[in-house]
Amino acid sequence: MTEKKQDQSLSNRTMGDIARMAGVSESTVSRALAGSELVAEKTRDRIQEIARTSGFSKNEQARNFALRKTYTIEVIFPIERGTLQQVSDPFFVDMLAVLTDELGKRGYDLLMSRSPPWDEERPGCAFTGARADGVIFVGQGRHRSEIRDFARLHKKVVTWGAALPNEDTCVIGSDNVGGGRRATEHMLSLGRQSIAFLGDLSLPEISQRFEGFKSALEAAGKTVSKDLVINSPFDIEEARSATHILADIYPSFDGIFASSDMIAIAAIANLRQRGLRVPEDVSVVGFDDIPSGAHMSPSITTVRQKIRTAGKILVDQLLAAIDGETPTSEILPAELVIRQSCGSGRIPAN
């Protein structure tokens, strides 16, 4: 009883069937359903009516195949091998949501694939397999060069991440350097003396934020202390243990620039656990502006990434590339959003 059945029971009528019902040829049906002016209005209406009442739905797989299009875009999160679970950072999710919306508006679907094209162990990149018309990389991870090679080779690729000056490939990203600088400057302006940095410097976006961090310190006549640069992954659990060390070395610092809001949350949790107060004892500034950041206590001061704008641009540029144009990179402003975790306006006790 376990043999596979081919019971595509219903509504797998083809255009041929409709043609037969309408007493016309298949091509006429095709044109009628496409609303072509070529077929007489009367016939067109009749055919459409028949199609509707008989519950016909066009086989888009076949259609797309004939047109050599797919109307789907592959979205890849170039995270490390393993589960996608790791991207549960709300930032990525929001980006995904925005992309789905923007692509949808333009008639495209979004295909999440599980592996980047250079992943040897797993088969099938939907894009090279012609199952997608283009690809969007969300973040560069540790694969900046692979992405660049891939993009150079295949065109029809845009990536969200850190744009470098001599980039010949389309990358859209926030002004990470500026954001990092402003975040740091803000804490300095509040009188914070020594500020720690939390983040994974092997990721280009993060290293840009560090860049800004560093330049702000230097502009203030300070230097970056090795001890205060802590490597921390995006994942909140791991971030929490990674930043554990921080609380140990208090009071060698009185401010933290966390390279993502999730990391900021982890850091705050850590400090709290050790009895330190945020922002009284330590200022914390995050990055991203995730939705819940405003509702925590303390609410998180952060650098906002204009993610909806970003999604729109990514999609626009990619579709332009698909149309044969050359997409252009862009850097989006990253604005400082001041809330409670930095202790704004309050002079720290010590």
Q: Which residues bind its own copies (CB under 8 A)?
A: 2-5, 7, 9-11, 57-62, 64-65, 70, 72, 83-88, 90, 93-94, 96-98, 100-101, 103-104, 109-115, 122, 124, 126, 128-131, 153, 155, 236-237, 240, 262, 265-266, 268-269, 272, 291-292, 295-297, 299, 308, 323-325
For residue 121, count other CB atoms closer than 10 A to its CB: 6
Nearer to its own copies, 102 or 185 (CB): 102
Q: How far is the CB of 197 from its own copies (least distance, A)?
A: 20
Q: Which residues contact 66 (CB under 8 A, 6 or more apart)?
A: none
> Quick one: which of 5, 68, 81, 295 contacts DNA (CB under 7 A)?
68
Nearer to its own copies, 38 or 93 (CB): 93
Q: How far is the CB of 158 from its own copies (least distance, A)?
A: 17
**Position 59 contacts DNA (CB under 7 A):** yes
**Position 4 contacts DNA (CB under 7 A):** no
Spatial separation of the C-alpha atoms in residues 241 and 238, rounded to whole Å: 5
Nearer to DNA, 3 or 248 (CB): 3
**Residue 301: strand pairing partners:** 285
- Specify the DSSP class assigned to residue 157: E
Q: Which residues contact 240 (CB under 8 A, 6 or more apart)?
A: 266, 269, 270
Give the chain's end-to-end CA distance (angstroms, integer).
Answer: 77
- Token pair for 348: 């720290």
Spatial separation of the C-alpha atoms in residues 243 and 325, rounded to whole Å: 45
Nearer to its own copies, 50 or 162 (CB): 50
With CB under 5 to 8 Å by kind, the binding choice for 16 among its own copies, DNA, none is DNA
Q: Give the per-residue contact string, 28-57, with DNA (x = CB under 7 A; - = no).
A: x-xx-xx--xxxxxxxx-------------
Segment near DNA (CB under 7 A); pick from 11-19, 156-164, 217-225, 285-293:
11-19
Q: How far is the CB of 220 from DNA (least distance, A)?
A: 60
Helix runs in the chain, H state only: 15-22, 26-33, 41-53, 60-67, 90-105, 144-154, 176-189, 204-219, 236-242, 244-249, 261-273, 307-322
**Residue 114: strand pairing partners:** none
Q: Interface with DNA by CB under 7 A: which residues? A: 12, 14-16, 23-28, 30-31, 33-34, 37-44, 58-59, 62-63, 65-68
